[in-house]
Structure 1
Amino acid sequence: MADEDLATRAPESDAAEQSTIPGDSKVDQGSASLGEHCTTDRPTPSGAKPTGELTKFDDIDVYITKPADYPHSPSKLLLLLTGGTGVHSTNNQLQADKWATEGFLVVMPDQFAGDPAPTTNTSTSTTSPTLIEQVKLGFATVAKSFTIDMWLARHTPETVLPRLHRVLSAMREEFADAVANGGGVYAAGYCFGARYVLLLGSNVDEETARGDRASESTAEEGMAKHGAAIKVGAIAHGTLISAQDFAKVEVPVGIVAVENDSLFPDDVREKGVKSLRERSVEVVEEVYKGVPHGFAVLGDYEEAAIVEKQGQAFAQMVGWLKGH
């Protein structure tokens, strides 16, 4: 597989060739990386406090937040998947609350089983670093990369997808009215969570859905199919996504992307979008310029342009899901 086919090669890695089977646990997670925006929250908006509640679905932590007029007014059920900071992040909870104000009944699960991404600070100085500080920074960067890679190795499709399917099953039972009202479950994913929106929207065999490689002979024998678990998806600046992750997506997908994003490169996105269009799967994409990876996740920025585009991206995702 060519380097450009994977959206997450660490710049310091000379990675081995990698599998492109959707959900394949054999993808070399040691060559993958996450950006700062995937593992560290921006400052929380002043005075903002989450309004939902933490509970458990099938022994998995979930954050649930509802429209103010639910259940008196009908709602649509949204599965919200986060970046590496996870379900206990105040910013992610506030993001879920924003979705609820748009009329969605939101369930945000703990994809990581109590093990959110590590956040090692590699900064040593606010001024030009000395030679010693540069050496320390280099070691810290390598150490952080190793720590993130180890974390990624613990959180692959074969561990994350079963949790999500358990939560989805509980969601459908608990909020059957919202499922019926929307004609299925909607999904939105940011950073790490974006790839899982694609996988949940795919029609794959049982082993691939669990993260195992299915042999051609097994597939030819008529292995049971695991159809799309969601009705429609919206993703923002995904990570760990390969072009092949789009290959079996069968639900409409809305994409928020960042120009020149090393974690979700243009060619990966373009190949994925081409694949969807060739199979007549509805897709829309918007590439935002002058913003960092992770900009669509709620959090304060000093730059007014980023704040404005964060609002535009949210409106794009909301509009896309409401339109379906």
Structure 2
Amino acid sequence: MTSASLSRCCTLGSLHEGEATGEIKDIGSISTYFAYPADKSTENAILILTDVLGHRFINVQLLADQFAAAGYFVVIPDLFAGDTVPLNRPEGFQIMDWVKNHLPVHTEPIIDAVLKEMRENLGCKRIGGIGYCYGGKYVCRYLKSGKFEAGFAAHPTMMEADELRGVERPFSIAAAVRDFVFTTEKRHESEAILDKLEIPYQINLFSDVEHGFSVRCDLSKPRQKYAKEQAFTQAVAWFDEYVKKY
């Protein structure tokens, strides 16, 4: 793997304050959060594939609203059929037992159904994929023709070397300097793989933060807040270049 399996750090963090402005509706049987840009256009879209806390987690909904304010139609599906992990998981919770029910065979039919709806019925002409932690693996797997025009992942988990070698579209990664999942060694391995591909890529490394910082950091700590904001800016700049201009 070019990023390790899920671990305790994938569920820890801070709850952010704010009121989401999007709405939750169903795509078939898939509960989904939608956030619209000011002009209500759906042509330039972002599909967010979440960490294990899922699409109802206020932190990721607030991020979706920010991407919408930047001019994108944003969709966040429930990747787990309601079986999400609570923030700061309870004592004794075994995440590797949980993930056995959330492998590609379970997750990809959900992503496929949502992408089909976005392209065929919601008017999305260009779609960028964002993956936080768990979702980063799937952004990597879907960076192919007819799926995502470009991708962004923050502190990805469970990403396989062969999945990364198969990337065909521009890929940007935000990494934490202290990450027991996307470690320095695995980050360097990812860099070496991406450097052999004929695609634009980018890996930004942020100091003073840990795994999960782009979604679950402590906003009362200025350096963490800055890193989170810059990771968001990184994603917007990437999609402005490789989704809107595609």
Do the two structures share a fold, i.e. TM-score over 0.5? yes
Task: Kindly report which structure 2 residues correspond to 1:203-242, keeping only aligned pairs within 5 A, or say none.
Answer: 227=145, 229-242=147-160
Deviation string 1:21-61 (CA, Å, 9 cap, x unpaired) is xxxxxxxxxxx33333x32452222xx10111101112111
Task: Kindly report which structure 2 residues correspond to 1:44-55, keeping only aligned pairs within 5 A, or say none.
Answer: 44-45=16-17, 48-55=18-25
3-state SS, counterpart of residue 321 of structure 1: helix
TM-score w.r.t. structure 2 length?
A: 0.91
Shift of 1:270: 2.1
What is the alpha-carbon distance in structure 2 between the residues aligned to residue 273 and residue 252 of structure 1? 13
Counterpart of 1:63, as a letter, is Y
- Residue 35 of structure 1 corresponds to 8
Give the structure with the larger strand fraction. 2
- Residue 83 of structure 2 corresponds to 115
Contact 2:178–2:208 (8 Å) recurs in 1:
no
RMSD, matched Cα:
1.9
Counterpart of 1:308, as a letter, is Y
Contact 2:12–2:216 (8 Å) recurs in 1:
no
Shift of 1:169: 0.2
Task: Kindly report which structure 2 residues correspond to 1:241-256, keeping only aligned pairs within 5 A, or say none.
Answer: 241-256=159-174
What is the alpha-carbon distance in structure 2 between the residues aligned to residue 267 and residue 242 of structure 1? 14
Counterpart of 1:34, as a letter, is S
What is the alpha-carbon distance in structure 2 between the residues aligned to residue 289 and residue 228 of structure 1? 35
What is the alpha-carbon distance in structure 2 between the residues aligned to residue 261 and residue 198 of structure 1? 19
**Higher CA-based Rg:** 1
Among the aligned pairs, what percent are the same residue? 30
Shift of 1:7: 2.5
Given the alignment of the two structures, is residue 61 of structure 1 paired with residue 57 of structure 2, yes or no?
no
* Structure 1 pair 115–158 and aligned structure 2 pair: CA distance change class (3 A): same
Given the alignment of the two structures, is residue 88 of structure 1 paired with residue 35 of structure 2, yes or no?
no
* Structure 1 pair 152–118 and aligned structure 2 pair: CA distance change class (3 A): farther
Q: Which stretches in structure 1 are left out of the alignment for 5+ residues?
A: 9-31, 123-139, 203-226
Counterpart of 1:293, as a letter, is H
3-state SS, counterpart of residue 296 of structure 1: helix
Deviation string 1:226-279 (CA, Å, 9 cap, x unpaired) is x55111001101111233320101110011001142111222222223222212
> Which residue among 220, 234, 238 is the counterpart of 1:302?
220
What is the alpha-carbon distance in structure 1 between the residues aligned to residue 30 and residue 89 of structure 2? 29
* Structure 1 pair 258–96 and aligned structure 2 pair: CA distance change class (3 A): same
* Structure 1 pair 187–42 and aligned structure 2 pair: CA distance change class (3 A): same
> Which residue among 141, 154, 159 is the counterpart of 1:199?
141
Counterpart of 1:201, as a letter, is L
Shift of 1:317: 1.1
What is the alpha-carbon distance in structure 1 between the residues aligned to residue 45 and residue 80 of structure 2? 21
- Residue 186 of structure 2 corresponds to 268
Contact 2:13–2:217 (8 Å) recurs in 1:
yes
3-state SS, counterpart of residue 232 of structure 2: helix
Contact 2:55–2:77 (8 Å) recurs in 1:
yes
Counterpart of 1:7, as a letter, is S
Given the alignment of the two structures, is residue 187 of structure 1 paired with residue 129 of structure 2, yes or no?
yes
* Structure 1 pair 67–298 and aligned structure 2 pair: CA distance change class (3 A): farther
Contact 1:259–1:287 (8 Å) recurs in 2:
yes
Task: Kindly report which structure 2 residues correspond to 1:31-180, keeping only aligned pairs within 5 A, or say none.
Answer: 32-36=5-9, 38-40=10-12, 42-45=14-17, 48-71=18-41, 75-118=43-86, 121=89, 140=91, 143-144=92-93, 147-176=94-123, 178-179=124-125
What is the alpha-carbon distance in structure 1 between the residues aligned to residue 77 and residue 13 of structure 2? 18
Q: Which moved more, 1:246-255 or 1:266-275?
A: 266-275
* Structure 1 pair 120–298 and aligned structure 2 pair: CA distance change class (3 A): closer
* Structure 1 pair 70–299 and aligned structure 2 pair: CA distance change class (3 A): farther
What is the alpha-carbon distance in structure 1 between the residues aligned to residue 13 and residue 21 of structure 2? 19
Contact 1:251–1:282 (8 Å) recurs in 2:
yes
3-state SS, counterpart of residue 281 of structure 1: coil
Contact 1:247–1:272 (8 Å) recurs in 2:
no
What is the alpha-carbon distance in structure 2 between the residues aligned to residue 105 and residue 248 of structure 1? 27
- Residue 293 of structure 1 corresponds to 211
Q: Which stretches in structure 2 are left out of the alignment for 5+ residues?
A: none
Deviation string 1:60-103 (CA, Å, 9 cap, x unpaired) is 111001012223xx751110111110011111111111110110
